[in-house]
Amino acid sequence: MNGYQTSEKSEAYIALGANLGDRQATLMEAVTLLDQHPDIQVERCSNLYETEPVGYMNQPAFLNMALTVSTRLQPIELLRAMLEIENQLGRVRDVRWGPRTVDLDLIWMEGLQLDTPELMLPHPRMRERAFVLVPLSDIVSPDTSGLYNTVKSALAGLDGREGIQLWTTCSWHSGSAPSVN
Ligand SMILES: Nc1ncnc2c1ncn2[C@@H]1O[C@H](COP(=O)(O)OP(=O)(O)OP(=O)(O)O)[C@@H](O)[C@H]1O
Ligand SMILES: Nc1nc2c(c(=O)[nH]1)N=C(CO)CN2
């Protein structure tokens, strides 16, 4: 699909990670801030997983999770809203793949492919990242068949879930804060 209808609501999948400060509190704050944006509604929220760092090893373990949101925003506007929330929560960019208070990546919008430096969709590294795929597998449904099939086949091709532990369950009830156990 090339064109993009902004008048209709779209579902977007977002991966979140944090490995500095109070990781769980920061992730919960990011979810709340996303839902408080006037044009973004959080629909589903994965459990939280503690994961070993990938790419740059000399850093603390991450907490990772994933969300489904619905929005009428253009994808680039959604990404900019996400980057603003990262800044609000104290994200500092220095080392590539290095430690961060919070990271929000736009992973997938069904039927959409983009290849610009500012935004690539689907996220170009999603298939090799168990820390993205495992949380996503909590929230994908066969209705979103492109993503569902991508997550299932990418997970089957990885070496399993080594380095990924369930940290806490999480559920989302519209209009309230995310609830963790
Ligand atoms: N799908 C996407 N999601 C988030 N950022 C993207 C995406 N595609 C391109 N970018 C661009 O990548 C830039 C760097 O993002 P970021 O600092 O989060 O990278 P990173 O988390 O260190 O590494 P990685 O991109 O491998 O996850 C962002 O400013 C953004 O413009
Ligand atoms: N376990 C884990 N490792 C990472 C993560 C992350 O969120 N979790 N994010 C990175 C940059 O996007 C690099 N490495």
CB under 6 Å to ligand 1: residues?
79, 93, 96-97, 103, 105-106, 118-121, 123, 125
Give CA–CA dist 131/133, Å, rounded: 6
State the DSSP H helix or E strand holding residue 25, giving kind and residue range, or none if neither: helix 23-36
- The pLDDT assigned to 6 comes to 53
Ligand located closest to 107 CA: 1
Using one digit for the tens of pLDDT, what is the confidence trace for 12-52? 999 999 999 999 999 999 999 999 999 999 999 999 999 99
- Give CA separation, 177 vs 27, 31, 48, 100, 151, in Å: 11, 8, 15, 23, 27
Ligand located closest to 162 CA: 2
ipTM: 0.96
Q: How far is the CA of 66 from the centre of ligand 1 (A)?
A: 15
Is the pLDDT assigned to residue 84 strictly greater than 60? yes
Q: How many helices (H) and strands (E) does the chain have?
A: 4, 10
Amino acid at 111: G
- Indicate which residue's Cα is closest to atom 14 of ligand 1: 118
- Indicate which residue's Cα is closest to atom 4 of ligand 1: 105
Q: How far is the CA of 117 from the centre of ligand 1 (A)?
A: 9
The pTM of this model reads 0.94
Tokens of 170: 């999480």
- The pLDDT assigned to 110 comes to 86
* Ligand 2 atom at minimal distance to the Cα of residue 15: 7
Q: How far is the CA of 124 from the centre of ligand 2 (A)?
A: 14
Give CA–CA dist 177/103, Å, rounded: 19
- Which residue would you say has higher pLDDT here, 3 or 77? 77
Architecture of the 10-173 domain:
2-Layer Sandwich (3.30)
Q: Return the active site residues.
A: 91, 100, 103, 105
State the DSSP H helix or E strand holding residue 64, giving kind and residue range, or none if neither: strand 62-71
Indicate the domain borders of the chain. 10-173
In residues, how long is the chain? Answer: 181
Give the model's confidence band at 134: pLDDT under 50 very low, under 70 low, under 90 confident, else very high.
Answer: very high
Instruction: Name which of 67, 5, 18 is nearest 40 in CA terms.
Output: 67
Residue 70's DSSP bridge partners are 11, 41
Angle 131-134-138 from CA coordinates, rounded to 5°: 140
- The pLDDT assigned to 1 comes to 40
Amino acid at 157: G
- The pLDDT assigned to 143 comes to 82
Residue 164's DSSP bridge partners are 51
